[in-house]
Structure 1
Amino acid sequence: MRRVEVNLPEKPTRTVELVAYDPAWPELFRTEQAQLAVALPHALAIEHVGSTSVPGLPAKPTIDVLAVVSDVGDVLKDHAALEQLGYEYRPGSFADDGEHLFFRKVSGGKRTHHLHVLAASSPRPDDYLLFRDYLVASEDAAQRYEQAKQSLAGKYATERGRYVAEKSQIVDQLMSEARAWRAAGSDG
């Protein structure tokens, strides 16, 4: 009897996985912030943003960092110090904004850090900070964001791009609320 080997397709790798909030995330950020301050000595600010910056919020275990600089061109010309820290430049990640530099750090096949480098003249740094601050201040907004992310992660566990694209709807809604919250005096 002849033996036939059947190659079944592998189960797709889960690329979107949310984990419970880890109280170590702020310290992981502070450690990275100190290293980035050396690599980007002219940075005007280095901030912890994204879901890992919101206490209690489940997130993909990737520390999102925002670095605000006077001129992104200077970073683009020379990012060797970032490469020495393990960051890989990903041109075109934000195709709608050529002034938004994106770097990622991967360890053991998993993304550990995302670095967003933006010019101080861009409106985006303010958006990142406002979104974070609103989620920290509004438990209701954070819960709605968590529910939407959990639902999308369940639907698009193997489709990172689709997860991000679909998540933009709740992000846009929450940003509108955050702007109104700020206009009302940021007192919730």
Structure 2
Amino acid sequence: MRKKDEDQNIPVWAFEKIELKNPDPVWKYKGIQEKDELYELLSGFGVKQVEHIGSTAIPHLPAKPIIDLMASVPSFDQINPIAESLSLHQWHYVPPELDKQPWRRFFVKVENDKRTAHLHLMQEGEERWEQQLIFLEKLRANPQLVEEYAKIKHQLAQEFQNDREGYTEAKAEFIRKVLRN
């Protein structure tokens, strides 16, 4: 259990409840806007590609209203200058020891103490890059998969309302199934 004084240093957005919203066509345009802004901010660090991924990138799919993006960098050697640059634009770096995903470097964009976007920064050649794009395309091409995923997401959002990591882990089996087929 954490000490009370340690909890005071944890930002409010770190423990937001999982709340799914109905699909919103605005998400597509927010994704484009965030993607363009990130490309502008990160191209000096060797970033050649930024993609809007996740549920907000899939039409007709309920989602947490957080735009997920991924970008690839040649290496993580420049992570400190990248974090400094992004911090000037409301992005918060979540270090790997907290994120517990060694294959990426994770950033959260925050406005008014609420998450508005996530950035999954990956090294070039990371296999999850291609998997993200394949999953995205399979759902965009198959309304039945979107419907099935929506049901799973609603059920898990209730079950893991206060546990983001649990919610994400519980969706993994569906994602693996889609990628296998």
- Paired residue secondary structure (2:52): strand
2:126 is aligned with 1:130: no
* Counterparts of 2:48 and 2:128, CA distance in 1: 14
* TM-score, normalization by structure 2: 0.84
Q: How does 1:95-134 map to 2 (within 5 A)?
A: 95-97=100-102, 99-134=103-138
Q: Deviations over 1:63-121 (max 9, x none)?
A: 00011122222234442221111111101255242x41100011122210000001112
Deviation, structure 1 residue 45 = 0.6
- Paired residue secondary structure (1:40): helix
Please tell me whether the aligned partners of residues 44 and 70 of structure 1 are also in contact (alpha carbons under 8 angstroms): no
Unaligned runs of 5+ in 2: 1-14
* Counterparts of 1:126 and 1:35, CA distance in 2: 22
- Paired residue secondary structure (1:105): strand
* Counterparts of 2:36 and 2:177, CA distance in 1: 33
Q: How does 1:53-92 map to 2 (within 5 A)?
A: 53-92=57-96
Match of 1:140 in 2: 144
Unaligned runs of 5+ in 1: 1-12, 178-188
RMSD: 1.7
AA aligned to 1:115 is: L
Match of 2:48 in 1: 44
Match of 1:28 in 2: 30
2:153 is aligned with 1:154: no
* Counterparts of 1:14 and 1:105, CA distance in 2: 13
- Paired residue secondary structure (1:60): coil
Please tell me whether the aligned partners of residues 105 and 120 of structure 2 are also in contact (alpha carbons under 8 angstroms): yes
Q: Identical aligned pairs, as a percentage?
A: 29
* Counterparts of 2:80 and 2:179, CA distance in 1: 29
More helix by share: 2
Count of matched residue pairs: 164
Please tell me whether the aligned partners of residues 67 and 116 of structure 1 are also in contact (alpha carbons under 8 angstroms): yes
Match of 1:182 in 2: none
Instruction: Mark the CA change 1:119 to 1:176 in structure 2 (over 3 Å): closer, same or farther.
Output: same
Consecutive aligned runs of 4 or more in structure 1 exceeding 6 Å deviation: none
AA aligned to 1:153 is: A
AA aligned to 1:49 is: I
